[in-house]
A = this chain, B = another copy of it.
C-alpha cells in the first residue's frame, strides 16, 4: 500500500506542490474508494493542504518565520544549526489524510497538497499510502 515519491527542494524553505504526483499514484493504483495518507520521513520537513496562490505561499513562509524565528537562542543549535526547522516541522505535522473518491484524490476545489521543505535544499522522500475503503 506504500509508494515512494522523491522531491527535490531548491531553497532552505521551499513550499512544493506535490498534488499531481500524488494523484498520479492514486490513479495508477485503480483503487476507487479509500483513504490516501501522505507521510514525510523527515524531522525538518512538514506537510500541509491549502491553495496554490503565490502571494499566499509568501505569507505562509513569513508566518513560519513569525511562529518560529530562524535566529533565536535555541539549545539544539549547539548540536546542529536547525532548531527552527524541527519546530516548524512539528507545527505543520508529518502526515496528511485525504479522501480517495471515484479513483481520484477527493480534494476541494482550491486544495493542493504541499511538502514544506524547512532545511533545504535537499532531496526528500514522501510515502504515499493507499487504504482501500
Contact = CB atoms under 8 A, between A and B. Distances in A.
B41 A107 contact: yes
In the complex, the count of this chain's copies comes to: 3
Interface residues of A, number: 54
Contacts of A87: 59-60, 63
A1 B127 CA distance: 22
A7 interface: no
A74 B98 contact: no
Given A2-B101, A95-B97, A127-B99, A90 B60 contact: yes
Contact of A43 (B41, B51, B74): B51
A50 B90 contact: yes
Interface of A: 1-2, 33-35, 37, 39-43, 48-51, 53, 55-56, 58-60, 63, 67-68, 74-76, 78-79, 83, 86-87, 89-99, 101, 106-111, 127, 129, 131, 133
Across the A-B interface, give the 7 residue pairs with the lowest CB-CB distance, nearest first. Answer: A41-B108, A1-B133, A55-B75, A56-B76, A95-B97, A55-B76, A58-B75
Given A42-B111, A49-B94, A99-B129, 15 more contacts: A1-B33, A2-B99, A34-B131, A35-B129, A35-B131, A39-B97, A39-B99, A42-B108, A48-B90, A49-B90, A55-B78, A56-B83, A59-B74, A59-B75, A60-B87
